[in-house]
Amino acid sequence: MRWTGGAATAIVLLIVTACGSPTPSPSPTSGSSTSPATSPSASGSAGTTTPVAVEGRIAVLAADSSLSVLLPDGGIAILDDTSDGMYGFPTWSPDGAYIAAVRSDGTQTSVVVFEAPEASADTTQPTVIFQRPSASPFYLYWTPDSKKVSFLATENDILSLRLAPADGSAPVDGTGDGAVVREGNPFYFDWLAPDRLFAHIGTGTDSFVGEIGLDGDATGAGFKTPGDFRSAVVSPDQQSVAFVRGVTGGPGEVVVSGRDGSNEHSMVVYGQTALVFDPVGGAVASIASSDPGDLAGFPLGPLRLLDSASGDVRTLIDGSVVSFWWSPDGKTIAALRVQPRIGSATPSAAPSQEAPIEVRLIFVDVASGKTLSQPTIQPSERFVSSFLAYFDQYALSHRIWAPDSSAILMSEAGEDGRTRATIRHIDGSDPIPLDGEMAFWSP
C-alpha cells in the first residue's frame, strides 16, 4: 500500500464534481508525522455519538479524532479522548475482542490496542505496541488469529511491513526478532494464515506477486508479469488467489486460480483494477475500465464477477463504479457509482465534466442482479481520499458492513457542512446519522 496523491486526488475531484464542494476533513498521509487532524466543520467528541440501537458494536472516530464504541443498546463506551494524541481509523480484531488504532501526539506516532468494551465505560488506557520516533505507521491489519497487528510504516523514506504482538510483549521500538516482515513500495497484502501472506509488492518489472512467510521470503514461485492493480486477494477458504496479470502491448487479465496456479480462469480488463473475493464463496468482483481508450488512472468502470470454479463472467453493475463492498453473507454488494444525474443522461453513461453528475450508493442482490435501493449520497472528502481511494485493501481489514448484512456505514458530508458516519440500510429505509467522522463495525 502506498499513500500517494495522484489516484486519490483524481477520485476526490471526480466525487467533488458530482457532489459539489463539501467542507474537507484533513486526512493523514504516509511519509509524514501522520497526525489525524480535527475537522473545523464538524462538532462532537467521542462521548456525543447519537444513542441508537445497532447490530453489533461500532467503533467511532469523532471529528476531534477521539475514539468511542457505540454499543447494541445505544450506550457509549469512550475508548480515549485526545489528551494523549489524535487517532486514525480504528480496526477490530477478527475475534472482536480488541481494537487497534494509530495515535499521534504531533511529535511521534504509535500503534495502540484497546480491549473492546462490552458495556458503557469511561476512558481506558490502551496498550502501546509500537512507538519509534523515526517511523510513521499508517495502515493496520490484524493477523487472522487476533494475536498480532501487522502495519505499514514509513521510516527514512522506506516503506516496510511490520508486525507486533497485540499484548505488547515485544520491544515497543520494533527492534525485536521478526518485527519487520519485508520492505517494498507499494505494498499490498492479504493474510493466508497467521504465518503466511499473499502479497503484491513493487511495480513494473521489479514487482512481486506471491506468498511470503513472516521472514519476508517467498515460500514458492511468484506469479509472473503482474499487471496494473493493487491488492492481490485470497479466497475465504484460503485455496484460491486472485490478481491481475499484465499482457505486453495489450490489456490486463483478472486471474483466479489455485494457490499453485492450477484451475486458472481469467477475464480481460483495461487500466488499473481493483478486486475483492466473495467472503463466503468463490467469485471475485472487480472494477476496471471497459474501454482501452478511456483510462482514469484509478479503478473505474463496470462491476463484474468472475466465478473461480466455472470461469463465467457477468456484469453486476454497469457504468462508472468507483468502489464496492461485499456484505458478510456474500448476498449483497454495495457500490458507489458516479453517474449523470437522473434526467440528464442514462445511468450507464460515462460521467462527464460538462454534464451534471451524482454519486449513487447502489445495493445489489448478487444472485439475481436486482437493485435493492440506490440513494444519492455525498461522501466526505476524508472518506474519499483516505478510505475509498484504497477501498480494496481496506476491505480486508476494516469492516463497514453490519454483522447481519443489513446495512453499511458511509461517511457523508451534510448540507450543514458537518461530516457524519451514516448507517445506510439495504432496503433504502431512512438513514441513521451518527456523530462521528468515520465508523467501523465489529465482526
Q: How many domains does the structure of the chain reveal? A: 1
As given in the structure block, the three cell numbers for residue 95 are 475475534
> How much is the average pLDDT of 340-364?
72
What band does 26 get if pLDDT is binned at 50, 70 and 90? very low
pLDDT at 24 > cutoff 80: no
**β-strands 407-413, 371-373: how paired?**
unpaired
User: In angstroms, rounded to a whole number, what is the distance separating the alpha carbons of residues 131 and 24?
Assistant: 29
pLDDT at 55 > cutoff 60: yes
User: In angstroms, rounded to a whole number, what is the distance separating the alpha carbons of residues 360 and 376?
Assistant: 4
- Residue 381 backbone phi and psi in degrees, to 5: -65, -40
Q: What pLDDT does 259 receive?
A: 95
324: which strand partners?
A: 335
Which range, 19-23, 39-43, 98-102, is most confident? 98-102
* Cα dist from 93 to 61, 98, 116, whole Å: 17, 5, 9
DSSP secondary structure, 285-352, as one string: EEEEES-TT---SS--EEEEEEETTT--EEEEEEEEEEEEEE-TTSSEEEEEEEEEPBTTB-TTSPP-
> How much is the average pLDDT of 261-288?
96
- 3-state secondary structure (DSSP) of residue 145: coil
Q: What pLDDT does 344 receive?
A: 57
> How much is the average pLDDT of 271-297?
92
User: In angstroms, rounded to a whole number, what is the distance separating the alpha carbons of residues 101 and 86?
Assistant: 10
Burial of residue 231 (CB within 10 Å: 0-12, 13-18, 19+) is buried
Q: What pLDDT does 22 receive?
A: 33
Q: What pLDDT does 290 receive?
A: 83
What band does 43 get if pLDDT is binned at 50, 70 and 90? very low
Strand order in the sheet with 233-234: 233-234, 240-245, 252-258, 265-277, 283-289, 301-307, 313-326, 332-340, 357-365, 371-373
Q: What is the CA angle 77-80-84, rounded to 5?
A: 175
Closest CA to 275 of 240, 320, 305: 305
pLDDT at 402 > cutoff 60: yes
What is the dihedral sign for C-alpha 132, 138, 142, 146? positive
Please write the tens of the pLDDT for every residue from 112-134: 999 999 988 777 799 999 999 99
Length of the chain: 443
Query: What is the domain range of residue 435?
Result: 5-441
> How much is the average pLDDT of 419-427?
97
What band does 45 get if pLDDT is binned at 50, 70 and 90? very low
User: In angstroms, rounded to a whole number, what is the distance separating the alpha carbons of residues 212 and 191?
Assistant: 10
Q: What pLDDT does 29 receive?
A: 32
270: which strand partners?
A: 289
What band does 34 get if pLDDT is binned at 50, 70 and 90? very low
pLDDT at 417 > cutoff 80: yes
> How much is the average pLDDT of 75-86?
94
Please write the tens of the pLDDT for every residue from 153-185: 999 999 999 999 999 999 999 999 999 999 999
- Residue 343: give its domain's CATH number: 2.130.10.120
> How much is the average pLDDT of 394-413?
98
With pLDDT > 90 as the criterion, what percentage of the chain qualifies? 76
User: In angstroms, rounded to a whole number, what is the distance separating the alpha carbons of residues 235 and 296?
Assistant: 28
Q: Where is 138: in which H helix or E strand?
A: strand 135-142
Q: What pLDDT does 8 receive?
A: 53
As given in the structure block, the three cell numbers for residue 267 are 477475464
- Buried (b) or exposed (e) across 202-219, using 16+ Cβ within 10 A? eeeeebbbbbbebebeee
pLDDT at 49 > cutoff 50: no
Please write the tens of the pLDDT for every residue from 362-375: 999 999 999 999 99
Please write the tens of the pLDDT for every residue from 196-226: 999 999 988 889 999 999 999 999 889 999 9
Q: What pLDDT does 319 receive?
A: 96
Between residues 287 and 417, the one the model is more confident about? 287
> How much is the average pLDDT of 349-357?
60
pLDDT at 349 > cutoff 50: no
CB distance 40 to 327 below 8 Å: no
Q: Where is 104: in which H helix or E strand?
A: strand 98-104
Tell me the pLDDT of the chain averaged across its residues.
Answer: 88
Q: What pLDDT does 16 receive?
A: 53
> How much is the average pLDDT of 237-254?
89
pLDDT at 86 > cutoff 90: yes
Q: Where is 241: in which H helix or E strand?
A: strand 240-245
Q: Report yes or no on whether pTM surpasses 0.75.
A: yes
Q: What pLDDT does 31 receive?
A: 34
